[in-house]
Amino acid sequence: MSLLHATVLTPFFFACFVPVLFKKVRSIHTGWFVLLVPLLLFSYFFTYFIANYFPQNSAMTPMLFSIPWIPSLGMHFTVYVDGLSLLFLLIITGIGLLVVLYSIYYMSKEREALHNFYIYLLMFMGAMLGVVLSDNVLVLYLFWELTSVSSFLLIAYWYQRKNSRHGAQKAMLITMFGGFAMLIGFLMLGQMADTLSIREMITSLDSMTDHALFFPAMLLILLGAFTKSAQFPFHIWLPDAMEAPTPISSYLHSATMVKAGIYLIARFTPIFGGQMEWFWIIVTVGVVTLFWGSFMAVRQVDLKALLAYSTVSQLGLIVTLLGIGSLALNDQISTNTTIQGIFAGAMLAAIFHLVNHSIFKGSLFMVVGILDHETGTRDVRRLGGLMSIMPISFTLAMIGGLSMAGLPPFSGFLSKEMFFTGVLSVARHMPAWTVILPIVAWLASIFTFVYCCKLVFRTFTGEHRPELLDRKPHEAPLGMLIPPAILACLVILLFFFPNVLSQKVLQPALLAILPDLTMQTVPTQISAWHGFNLELLMTILVVIIGSWLFIQFKRWADIYDNLPRKYTLNNMYDRSLHSLEKMAAKLTGSYMTGSLTHYLMYIFSFLIIVVGGSLLLQGAFVIDWSYTSPIMPHEYILGLLIVALSIYVIFVNSRIQSIVTVGGIGYLVSLFFVIFRAPDLALTQLVVETITTSLFLLCFYFLPKLKKELKPLKLNIAHLLISIGVGATLTLVGLSAMGHKLFPSISSYFEDADTLAGALNMVNALLVDFRAFDTMLEIVVLFIAGIGVYTLVKHRKSRRR
C-alpha cells in the first residue's frame, strides 16, 4: 500500500477512535484531536506539491499506485495524482483544516454530540479524497456515493429539527439519483473501452467516439455531475442543505462536495470535450444556473440562504467556463492555435475561479456563522449597524463579498474578468446567436453585485437595533476569526501575485484537463490590467447598474412576489414526493394485508413463475434417468406414508394431532437416511425431530387454550394449484439437476478426508475441518440467540417482580 492509499484511509481509520476520545477525554474539545488529520494530510500533499513543482515550471509527472481489489472484474484500488487531482487534494485538506479549527469554537462540547459530528466530517473528507484520487470508475463511484451518505448525515446532524431532516432527504435523493445515472454511464464507458481505468479510456478514445453508447454515456455522466454540483434544475437541494451547522456549509457546500461535480466534468473533458454536444449542454446548463442562482440570491433574507443561491450561481459560472474551455479539444478549433489558446484561457479561468470561490465563499460562510453565533440570527431584516461592534468580521465580510462581486483588489476580480473574456470569445468565434451568452453572463454579474452589497451593507451598516437580536452582539473569539482571516488574506495575495498560483498550480491542472495542449498554447500570465476593453466596460456597468438596483431595491423587489409559487421547482419536488409516498402507501397496502396466507401465496407464486418459468423457457427441464438408482418397494411405501401424513396434517383439528403428525413425517424421513446408508444424518434427524417436537409440545402447553376447536380447512382451488405448482417445480428442478453433470462431482475431493483431516467420517471432516469457521460462526449465532432468549426471560421475571 502506498502513502497515497494511506491518505484516503486515514480519515476513516481515525474516525473509529473519535467516540473513545469524546467519551474519555471530556476536558478537551474533540476537535483538537481531529485537527491532526487534515493537518497531517495537508502537510503531506503540500510537501508533495513542493517536491514536484519547484524549482521547475513544467507540469508534474503523474503518479500511479494500484492495489488489486476484485481482479476478475477489473477493479483495482488505483490512485492517480496529476495537476488536477493535486489541486483538489490541497483544497479538500486545506479548507478542511481551517473548518475543523473553526468548528472547535463554533460547536459547544457541552451541548453538542461532537463524536457524531466529527465522525461524519472525517467520513466525508476521506470520501472526497477517494473521489479525486480514484482512477477506476467503479471505485470513484463508491467514494462518490459515500460523499452523499456522509453529507446526508451532516445535514441531518440536528435531526430533531424537521427542516434538517427534510434538507438531508432532498440532498440524498437528488444526488444519489444523479449518482446512479452516472454509474450507468461509467458501465457504458467500460463496455466501450473494455477497461474501467479513466487513463486507459482516454488512450482508447478513437475507438469510442463512434460507438452507439458514447452519447448516452455522456448524458448520464453529466447528469451525475449536475446533480452533485447543484446545477439547474437540480440546484434546489443546496439551499435546504443550509440547515446543517455552519462549518459543514462552509466545507461541503462551498469548497468541496459541490466541487465534486466540477471535478467530474473536468476529469472527463479529455474523453468528451471534443464533442460539440458536450459544449452546448454544459454551457447552456451553466449559464442558466449562473443567472437563476444570482437572481434568486437577491431575494433571500437569510444570510446562509443568500450564500447558498450565490454558490449555485458561482458553480454555474465555473461550469460555463469548463464548457467553453472544452472547445480547445474540438478538431476544427484545435487547427488554429490562436483560437485554441483563447478557449484554453477559459479553462484556466474555470480552474482559477474554482480556487477563488473555495477561498472567498469559505470565508463568507464562516463570517455568517460568526454573526449567527454572536447575535443569534441570520436574518438581514434584524441585523444592521454591526460595523463598529464587530469590525474584524465586517472587514472579512467586505473582502469576501467584494471578491465575489468581482471588484479589485481582490482575486475574484481577476477570474471574473477572465470569465467575461471567455463568454465574449464564444460570441466572436461561434454562431451569431451565441451573443446571448455574454449578455446573460453580464446580467447575472449585476445581480451578483446586488446580493454582495446586500450581504455586506445590509448587515454591517445602517441602524443598529439590539432589541431585534437574540443576543448582545460582540466580536467573535480569536479562534473563530483566524480561519476566515487566513482565507481573506489569500484573496488579497492572489490578486497581487496570481501568476505564482497560475504557473505552479493552475497550468498543471489545465494540462491534465486538456492533455493535447502544448506548453506554447497554454496561457501563462494572469494580469489585473488589460487596458480599456469590453470586459472592463462590462465591469464598470455592473458596478453602476448594480449599485442603483441595490439602492432602489424596495421599488423593484415586488417582481419576486409575482413569480408563480405553484410552479416552482421546490413545490414540484414536494408534490412529486408526496404523490410517490401516497402511491407507495396505496400499493403497499394492497398486498401487505397482515395475512400470512397471502404472503406465502406471493412467495410461492413468485417461485413458480420466476424459477419454473425461466427454466421452462430455456429448455432446462431435461431429466436423465440413467443417473438414478432403482426404487425398491419399501421406498415407495415410505414415500406414500410421508405424502399421506403431509396431507393429513392439513385437515386435523387439534394442535396435538398436528404436532405428532409433523413429528411422524420427520421420523419417516430419518428412515430414508438409514436406507441410503447415512447413519450420522439419520441420528441427527432423529435428535433434531425429537427436540423440536418436544419444544412444540412445551410451547403449546403454555399457550392459551382455543375458545373453539379448529375447523377443518375448506378446499381452496388457488391454494391447491400453488401447492401443486411448487411441488412440481422443485421436483423438476431436482431431477433436472441430476441430469446436468456440467462439472466433476466435488465429492472426489473429500475422498481423502482421512489423509487430509484425520477423520474417517467425511461429513465430520467437512463440519469440523473444511467448514470449521462456518460451523464455529453457526455455533456463535446459536449462542447469541440463547443469550437473547435468556435475557428476555430474566427481563420478564424482573418486570413481574
Over the stretch 384-408, which tens digit does the pLDDT of each residue have?
Answer: 889 999 999 999 999 999 999 999 9
Is 50 exceeded by the pLDDT of residue 30? yes
CA-nearest of 373, 376, 327, 736 to 513 is 327
- Strand partners for 67: 77
- Backbone region of residue 152 per phi and psi (left: phi > 0; alpha: psi in -120 to 50; beta: other values): alpha
Q: Indicate the pLDDT class of residue 797, thresholds 50, 70 and 90.
A: low
Angle at which helix 534-551 crosses helix 411-429, to 10 degrees, equals 120
SS3 label, residue 382: coil
Q: Rounded to whole angstroms, how far apart are CA atoms 177 and 155?
A: 18
The mean pLDDT value for 342-349 works out to 91
Residue type, 551: I
pLDDT tens-digit series, residues 416-453: 999 999 999 998 888 878 899 999 999 999 999 999 99
Helix (H, G, I), strand (E, B) or coil at 670: helix
pLDDT digits (tens, 9 = 90+) for 571-630: 999 899 999 999 999 998 888 888 888 899 999 999 999 988 888 888 777 777 776 778
What is the phi/psi pair of residue 630, to 5°?
A: -65, 145
Q: What is the mean pLDDT of residues 759-767?
A: 74
H-helix or E-strand spanning residue 309:
helix 303-325
Taking 60 as the threshold, does the pLDDT of residue 357 lie above it?
yes
Is the pLDDT reported for residue 53 higher than 90?
no
pLDDT exceeds 60 at position 55 = no
10 or 785, greater pLDDT? 10
Distance from CA of residue 186 to its chain's centroid? 15
At residue 60, the pLDDT reads 63
Predicted confidence (pLDDT) at residue 341 exceeds the cutoff of 70: yes
Q: What confidence tier does 319 reach under pLDDT thresholds 50, 70, 90?
A: very high
719-722 LR contacts (CB < 8 Å, sep 24+): 719/597, 719/601, 722/601, 722/604, 722/605, 722/608
Query: Directed axis angle between helix 83-106 and helix 337-375, to 10°?
Result: 10
Can you tell me whether residue 654 is helix, strand or coil? coil
Q: Which of 425, 413, 631 is nearest to 543 (CA)?
A: 413
Which single residue is written with the C-alpha cell 460523499?
Answer: 147
The pLDDT value given to residue 261: 94
Q: Give me the mean pLDDT over the 228-238 stretch.
A: 93
pLDDT tens, position by position, 143-174: 999 999 999 999 999 999 999 999 999 999 99
> Hey, what's the cell of 30?
474533540
Please state the rounded mean pLDDT for residues 712-719: 76
User: Given a cut of 60, is residue 708 above it in pLDDT?
Assistant: no
Whether 717 shows a pLDDT value over 90: the answer reads no
Q: The dihedral of CA 517, 518, 521, 524: what is its sign?
A: positive
Bond from prior residue into 409 cis (ω within 30 degrees of 0)? yes
Backbone angles phi, psi at 271, to 5 degrees: -90, -45
CB neighbour burial string for 425-457, b if at least 16 within 10 angstroms, e if fewer: bbbeebeeeeeebbebbbbbbbbbbbbbbbbbb
What percent of the chain stands above pLDDT 70? 96
Asked if residue 364 lies in contact with residue 481, where contact means CB atoms within 8 angstroms, the answer is no
Q: What is the phi/psi pair of residue 73, to 5°? A: -100, 5
pLDDT beyond 70 at 545: yes
* H or E stretch covering 77: strand 75-81
Q: Are the C-beta atoms of residues 90 and 42 closer than 8 Å to each other?
A: yes
308-330 burial string, b = 16+ CB within 10 Å, else e? bbbbbbbbbbbbbbbbbbbbbbb
Residues with Cβ < 8 Å from 533, sequence gap 6 or more?
none
Q: Give the per-residue pLDDT at 155.
A: 94
How confident is the model at residue 101, as a pLDDT? Answer: 95
List alpha helices for 376-435, DSSP H. 391-405, 411-429
Lowest mean pLDDT among 147-161, 164-178, 320-334, 765-779: 765-779
- Confidence grade of residue 459 (pLDDT, cut at 50, 70, 90): very high
Distance, CA of 208 to CA of 229 (rounded, Å): 27
Looking at residues 779-799, what average pLDDT do you find?
Answer: 79
| Rounded average pLDDT over 70-85 | 86
Assess whether pLDDT exceeds 70 at residue 72. yes
Residue 24 has pLDDT above 60, yes or no: yes
User: At which residue does the C-alpha cell 423587489 appear?
Assistant: 557
Comparing C-alpha atoms, which of 15, 219, 221, 22 is closest to residue 137?
Answer: 221
Count Cβ atoms below 10 Å from residue 206 Cβ, excluding itself. Answer: 7
Q: What is the dihedral of CA 335, 338, 344, 349, to 10 degrees?
A: -160
User: In angstroms, rounded to a whole number, what is the distance separating the alpha carbons of residues 328 and 83?
Assistant: 18
Residue 57 has pLDDT above 50, yes or no: no
Hey, which of 140-144, 507-511, 564-568, 751-755 has the most confident mean pLDDT? 140-144
Contact 332, 430 (CB under 8 A): no
CB 393, CB 350: distance < 8 Å: no
Domain ranges of the chain: 1-272, 591-763
Amino acid sitting at position 2? S
Task: Flag whether pLDDT at 765 surpasses 80.
Answer: no
Q: Which of 248, 261, 254, 523 is nearest to 364 (CA)?
A: 254
Q: Return the exposure string of 126-135: e unless at least 16 CB atoms fall within 10 Å of the residue's CB, then b.
A: bbbbbbbbbb
* 790 vs 707, higher pLDDT: 790
Nearest Cα to Cα of residue 148 among 124, 129, 164, 165: 124
Q: What is the mean pLDDT of residues 661-689?
A: 87
C-alpha cell at 269: 473533458
- Closest Cα to residue 446, out of 293, 294, 288, 313? 294
